[in-house]
Amino acid sequence: MKPFRYVRPASLAEAAGAHGGRPGSAYLAGGTNLVDLMKLGVERPDTLVDVARLLPAGVEATAAGGVRVGAGVRGTDLAAHPLAGARCPVLAQALLSGASGQLRNAATTGGNLLQRTRCGYFQDVSKPCNKRDPGSGCAALDGANREHAVLGHSPLCVATHPSDLAVALSALDAEVEVTGADGIRTVPLDGFLRLPGERPEQDTTLRHGELVTAVLLPPGAFGAPSAYRKARDRASYAFALASVAAVLETRNGLVSRIALAFGGLAHRPWRARAAEERLLGERPTPEAVRAAVDAELAAARPLRDNAFKVLLAGNLARDVLAGLAGPARD
């Protein structure tokens, strides 16, 4: 491991300015991803800025009726919190399927969103990877790409985002609160996490020196039927081959509210806007759901080894939406 400097700033302002703004610095909170990448030589920071004691670690109701989740809240606590996970099945199910109890006890909400891809080529410093070393190439394009993206990828990167929580938050229309030297700003989650495009090394739209301080759940995140389903290679904890987070509410037999997000298929959670548009105001019959999901996944561009993901994701989505719609759909 490369030698590094370790600092513990006294405030978030100090962390964002004097330390976090320096080239070669990295923020440390739970450390469940960063420390592993440092051991592999993927991340080689000159300075570790420990913000674990500074990040907000509370879950609070907002004046608008939503919930503010501090970036320092641990996964275990969020899944069971009476204001959040206990009221929102999709959120709790995503958190509980994402990692073992030991990891959930350490990993933070902010860090969960910021974790890097688990692409084997990204984690192997002997292989070319545009995300790790821009301009070096993408070994996964013609290599082992069974677990890689089928939506939204580019010729420079076909990696997927590993977070289960992020998929649920996408379906809940969550926002990310970001703090930096210039103050606080909020960003919709789907505008916070990036598709690779021509800059795959940039996972987020964070500016240099900024850090995530909270996740904001809108009032509409609670009350409607919701669910998270994940397909993986083993029953124990593993990253998703494909996953689905869905919110579905009906009125007089018609879909009055719907949100659908896929995980394991793209560089960020894939919000299924086309499927949502087709189903809103319609009866959620098996035929209508199938047509909507198929229309969304028609944009998929599978690689050599992962065409199965399209069928897998479609089956998951249809099953989850059918469960939320209930048996009486005629």
Determine which helix (DSSP H) or strand (DSSP E) holds 118, and give its type and residue range.
Answer: none
**CATH number at 230-325:** 3.30.390.50
Q: Find out whether 219 and 290 touch, Cβ atoms under 8 Å.
A: no
Q: How many CB atoms lie within 10 A of CB 174?
A: 24
The position carrying tokens 């509210």 is: 257
Tokens of 136: 């070096």
Specify the pLDDT at position 330.
42
Q: What is the dihedral of CA 328, 86, 313, 271, to 10 degrees?
A: 100
Domain layout of the chain by residue ranges: 5-52, 230-325
Q: What is the pTM of this model?
A: 0.96
The H-or-E segment that residue 96 falls in is helix 89-98
Helix or strand run (H / E) with residue 185: strand 183-188
The token pair at 137 is 């190439």
pLDDT number for residue 329: 42
The DSSP secondary structure of 5-67, one letter per residue, reads EEE--SSHHHIIIIITTSTTEEEESS-TTHHHHHHHTS---SEEEE-TTTS---EEE-TTS-E
Q: CA angle 296-146-167, nearest 5°?
A: 45
Q: 281: helix, coil or strand?
A: coil
Where does residue 40 rank: exposed (0-12), middle (13-18), buried (19+ CB within 10 A)?
middle
- Architecture of the 5-52 domain: 2-Layer Sandwich (3.30)
Residue type, 52: A
The tens place of each residue's pLDDT in the chain, 330 residues long, gives: 689 999 999 998 888 876 666 778 999 999 999 999 999 999 999 999 999 999 999 999 999 999 999 999 999 999 999 999 999 999 999 999 998 999 999 999 999 999 999 999 999 999 999 999 999 999 999 999 999 999 999 999 999 999 999 999 999 999 999 998 889 999 999 999 999 999 999 999 998 889 999 999 999 999 999 999 999 999 888 999 999 999 999 999 999 999 999 999 999 999 999 999 999 999 999 999 999 999 999 999 999 999 999 999 999 999 999 999 986 444
The answer to whether residues 170 and 112 touch, using CB atoms and an 8 Å cutoff, is: no
What is residue 141's DSSP assignment? T
What is the predicted pLDDT for the residue at 235?
Answer: 83
CA–CA separation, 289 and 266 (whole Å): 22
Give the sheet arrangement for strand 226-231, strand by strand. 226-231, 242-251, 254-263, 270-271
